[in-house]
């Protein structure tokens, strides 16, 4: 083997090692991101715990890479990829678990309770993010802090709403089936469209959802959420109050739309 061939082989080997190491690092970051998001979806989080987890989520997102967050179009693609990565980690309770946690409630009352709890949680995320931003306003937020904070808030709110979507399907006897990827893809579609999942249509995975027109729909919905969270950066605690109110209202609207759609589709199945 010539010296040139040996040098090229060594270079290729190093490139492969670097790529492997980078992929392993990204997988580790995604696992941490998923664990943080799963913890943020708990019903009984205290404000201090929510702020701590949101801070941890900011750190996870920083480690995942920030370059695309500064370009609006690329940022939405980046956000879509992050949502696709965290969706399989969102813990959706089955109907038996929900009945144990909320005994004595009929379907509609239980759905109302879940919607109310989710709305309170997303309002808490807005308030927690506003509190973080309020601290930054003492020393004005850098261009780095603002988009990362907005991204963290948006991911947290979407995760809470995906959990709500999945659990509403459980309550109305239309659980989302399939493997982790298929369930995550169905959750994302239902969240983007604010409609229940059609049980007669085979489930598709996250890759399929993000490889079709569904990608644009997801990005459009994410852009609305991202824009809503801009209120977090309002001066002092006004950002927290407004962000909390807007999150609560939007989550309640989403839950009510999904709830009504599932009730209609269940009636059609019964009639059929």
Q: Per-residue pLDDT tens for 3-18?
A: 555 565 666 667 666 6
**157 and 222 in contact (C-beta within 8 Å)?**
no
pLDDT tens sequence across 135-170: 454 444 444 456 777 778 888 889 999 999 999 999
178-236 confidence digits (pLDDT tens): 888 888 888 988 898 888 886 555 555 555 444 444 556 666 776 666 655 555 444 44
Q: pTM (2 decimals)? A: 0.79
Domain that includes residue 164, residue range: 3-271
Of 27, 185, 235, 21, nearest in space to 176 by CA: 185
Q: What is the DSSP letter of 74?
A: H
Counted domains in the chain: 1
Name the DSSP letter for residue 236. Answer: T
Q: Are 163 and 251 in contact (CB under 8 A)?
A: no
């Amino acid at each position: 083997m010539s010296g040139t061939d040996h040098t090229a082989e060594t270079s290729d080997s190093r490139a492969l090692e670097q790529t492997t190491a980078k992929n392993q690092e990204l997988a580790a970051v995604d696992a941490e991101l998923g664990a943080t998001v799963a913890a943020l979806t708990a019903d009984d989080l205290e404000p201090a715990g929510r702020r701590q987890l949101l801070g941890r989520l900011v750190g996870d997102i920083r480690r995942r890479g920030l370059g695309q967050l500064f370009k609006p179009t690329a940022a939405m693609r980046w956000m879509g990829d992050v949502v696709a990565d965290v969706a399989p980690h969102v813990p959706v309770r089955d109907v038996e678990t929900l009945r144990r946690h909320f005994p004595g409630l009929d379907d509609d009352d239980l759905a109302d309770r879940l919607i109310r709890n989710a709305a309170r949680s997303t309002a808490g995320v807005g308030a927690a993010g506003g509190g973080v931003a309020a601290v930054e306003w003492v020393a004005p937020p850098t261009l780095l802090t603002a988009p990362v904070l907005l991204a963290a808030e948006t991911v947290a709110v979407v995760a809470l709403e995906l959990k709500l979507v999945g659990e509403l399907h459980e309550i109305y006897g239309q659980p989302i089936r399939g493997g982790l990827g298929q369930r995550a893809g169905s959750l994302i579609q239902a969240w983007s469209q604010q409609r229940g999942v059609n049980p007669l249509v085979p489930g598709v995975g996250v890759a399929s959802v993000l490889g079709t027109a569904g990608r644009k729909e997801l990005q459009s919905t994410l852009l609305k959420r991202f824009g809503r969270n801009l209120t977090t950066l309002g001066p002092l605690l006004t950002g927290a109050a407004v962000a909390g109110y807007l999150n609560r209202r939007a989550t309640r609207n989403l839950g009510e739309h999904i709830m009504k759609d599932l009730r209609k589709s269940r009636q059609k199945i019964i009639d059929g």
